[in-house]
Amino acid sequence: MAHHDHALLVIDVQNDFCPGGALPVPEGDAVVPVINRMLGEFPLRIFTQDWHPKDHLSFASAHPGKQPFETVEMPYGPQVLWPDHCVQGTEGADFHPDLDTTPGQLILRKGWRREIDSYSAFFENDRQTVTGLHGWLQEHGVKALTIVGLATDFCVHYSAVDAARLGYEVTVDERACRAIDLDGSLEKARAAMRAAGVRLVGG
Q: Which residues are catalytic?
A: 12, 110, 155
In whole angstroms, give the CA distance from residue 61 to residue 28: 24
In whole angstroms, give the CA distance from residue 76 to residue 183: 22
CB count within 10 Å of CB 74 equals 16
Beta bridge partners of 178: 150
> Could you give the angle at the alpha carbon of 16 between the alpha carbons of 23 and 194, nearest 5°?
65
Q: Concatenate the DSSP letters of all residues of 41-101 into one string.
A: G-SEEEEEEE-B-TT-TTBGGGSTT--TT-EEEETTEEEE-B-S-SBTTSGGGSBPTTS--
Yes or no: say if 95 and 86 are a contact pair by the CB < 8 Å rule.
no
Q: What are phi and psi of 193, to 5 degrees?
A: -65, -45
In whole angstroms, give the CA distance from residue 164 to residue 170: 6
3-class DSSP state of 196: coil
